[in-house]
Amino acid sequence: MRLSQRISNITGGGSDGWDVFYRARDMIEAGTPVIELTIGEHDIGTDPSVLEAMHKSATGGHTGYAVVPGEMALRKAVARRVEARTGVPTTADNVLITPGGQSALFTAHHAACDGGDTALYCDPYYATYPGTIRAVGANPKPIVTRPEDNFQPTAGQIGAEAEGARSLLINSPNNPTGVVYGPETMAAISNACISHGLWLISDEVYDTQVWEGDHISPRALPGMADRTLVVGSMSKSHAMTGSRVGWLVGPKEVIAAAIDLATHMTYGVPGYIQDAALFALNAGQDLETKISAPFQRRRLLAEQVLEGQNVVRPIRSSGAMYLMLDIRATGLSGEEFATCLLERHHIAVMPGESFGRAASGHIRVAMTVEDSVFEDALKKLVELAREFAA
Ligand code: PMP
């Protein structure tokens, strides 16, 4: 039987750039220890207090169907959090609870785009972006940013691609670069969305991981609340990656339509997961800081290790749990360098090419192992780069 084109086309065919990652996993399976600096998974698990809340909820009987839009108490808590962080009046009607940010990304594109529409996204990009756009039947079109612009899209670049497009997907703080978009970039983005009639889909799942400056949510910019769909998640902020709980925030009419989609696809998020998420949000800033602190610390460690040499050049970044390193001085591609680092030192990083065209000749390092192991791995990485550069 023939599969639909829509589902067959999701990955777009070809290599998905995850070869190094899977090779590392094969090595581990075969008994070779590998230091994994690949995916965005915290080295601490979900906080025991959150697990306790989850357990208490489940054993207390909260295991039946949950209401599809999300428990009212959780929707209200998300609305309060968003309003407190952005100043934009937000109520439960502006919030849909989703099984993770990924589901919110899919829902947002489903709401914004018809089949065949052009949906813009910035390159380098988080791995699922083009596939998510194809999964709703739209056509992904990259805005290829440049290392010399610190991988932030410029007004000219957005303007050149925006004609005829329906939506623009951005991500700040950014995976894979760690860059936090400044006021100028956000103004360029919002101006382009208004003048070209675009929906803005703003993926803010790293909003608690900002090490310098401020996170700007573009929904708060003039004229943007009615056209911005914000993707949020408990995965990164509360180390709840496996719980699959996040949200979509947007205009009431969009959320009402998104609830219809959820009814026919996910049918909601388990009640005991939502109760754990509510507990975690109510735990406030202290828990968020506890979870983000290791990345801030390791970023400073990395600064020290990378100081005094210019073969491995860090991209100037101020957020998220990753470092993007420019290794073009080695003469190798990101993929070649990552493969060599894995073979020689059993250290796995992601080649920049995994994230699109813009980050070729770069590697992404996830700061997700214990400090001393991280420091040691970075030292070996620099040594290897120096060898090639010489
Ligand atoms: N957006 C970005 C930029 C991400 O890095 C991730 C996860 N790595 C997600 C969305 C999805 O996260 P989740 O579905 O776990 O909330």
What is the DSSP annotation of 116-177? T-EEEEEES--TTHHHHHHHTT-EEEEEE--GGGTTPPPHHHHHHHHTTEEEEEEESS-TTT
Q: Give the ranges where the chain is alpha helix by DSSP (H).
A: 5-8, 19-29, 48-59, 72-86, 100-112, 129-135, 155-162, 183-196, 234-237, 252-265, 271-282, 285-306, 334-345, 371-389
Per the domain annotation, does 187 fall within a domain? yes
The residue contributing the CA closest to ligand 1 atom 16 is 101
10-residue block means of pLDDT along the chain (390 residues)?
92 74 95 95 95 98 97 98 96 98 98 98 96 96 96 95 96 97 96 97 97 95 98 98 98 98 98 98 96 96 96 94 97 96 97 94 97 98 96
- Atom number of ligand 1 nearest to Cα 203: 1
Per the domain annotation, does 51 fall within a domain? no
Per the domain annotation, does 358 fall within a domain? yes
The rounded distance, in Å, linking the Cα atoms of 22 and 367 is 19
Say if CB 218 and CB 170 are below 8 A apart. Answer: yes
Pocket of ligand 1 (CB under 6 A): 40, 100-102, 126, 171, 175, 203, 205, 233, 235, 241, 246
From 236, 266, 283, give the residue that closes a domain.
283
Same domain, 153 and 237: yes
Rg of the Cα trace of the chain? 21
Say if CB 96 and CB 248 are below 8 A apart. Answer: yes
Cα angle 126, 274, 255; round to 5: 65
Same domain, 102 and 158: yes
What amino acid is encoded at 165 in this protein?
Answer: A
Domain carrying residue 353: 5-45+286-389
- What is the number of domains present in the chain? 2
Greatest extent of the chain over all pairs of C-alpha atoms, in Å: 64
User: Beta partners for 120?
Assistant: 141, 168
Same domain, 138 and 174: yes
Torsion sign over Cα 269, 174, 121, 218: positive
Among 186, 139, 131, smallest CA distance to 158 is for 186
Same domain, 310 and 276: no
Torsion sign over Cα 366, 370, 371, 377: negative
From 283, 301, 326, give the residue that closes a domain.
283
Per the domain annotation, does 50 fall within a domain? no
- Atom number of ligand 1 nearest to Cα 102: 14
Q: Is 269 helix (H, G, I), strand (E, B) or coil?
A: coil
Phi-psi region of 266 (alpha: psi -120 to 50; beta: other; left: phi over 0): alpha
Same domain, 158 and 172: yes
CATH number at residue 323: 3.90.1150.10
CATH number at residue 168: 3.40.640.10
Same domain, 155 and 297: no
Q: What is the pLDDT of residue 219?
A: 98
Q: How far is the CA of 230 from the centre of ligand 1 (A)?
A: 13
Same domain, 160 and 268: yes
- Residue 111's Cβ-count burial label (10 Å; 0-12, 13-18, 19+) is buried
Same domain, 195 and 251: yes
Say if CB 334 and CB 325 are below 8 A apart. Answer: no
Same domain, 246 and 137: yes
Same domain, 81 and 163: yes
Per the domain annotation, does 54 fall within a domain? no
- Atom number of ligand 1 nearest to Cα 174: 3
Q: How far is the CA of 105 from the centre of ligand 1 (A)?
A: 9
Among 376, 348, 377, 375, smallest CA distance to 363 is for 348
Same domain, 271 and 353: no
Q: How far is the CA of 366 from the centre of ligand 1 (A)?
A: 14
Q: How far is the CA of 36 from the centre of ligand 1 (A)?
A: 18
Say if CB 261 and CB 107 are below 8 A apart. Answer: yes
Same domain, 90 and 228: yes
From 268, 283, 298, give the residue that closes a domain.
283
DSSP state of 330: G
Per the domain annotation, does 380 fall within a domain? yes
Q: How far is the CA of 220 from the centre of ligand 1 (A)?
A: 22
Per the domain annotation, does 56 fall within a domain? no
Distant-in-sequence, close-in-space partners of 374: CB < 8 Å, separation ≥ 6: 37, 298, 301, 302, 367
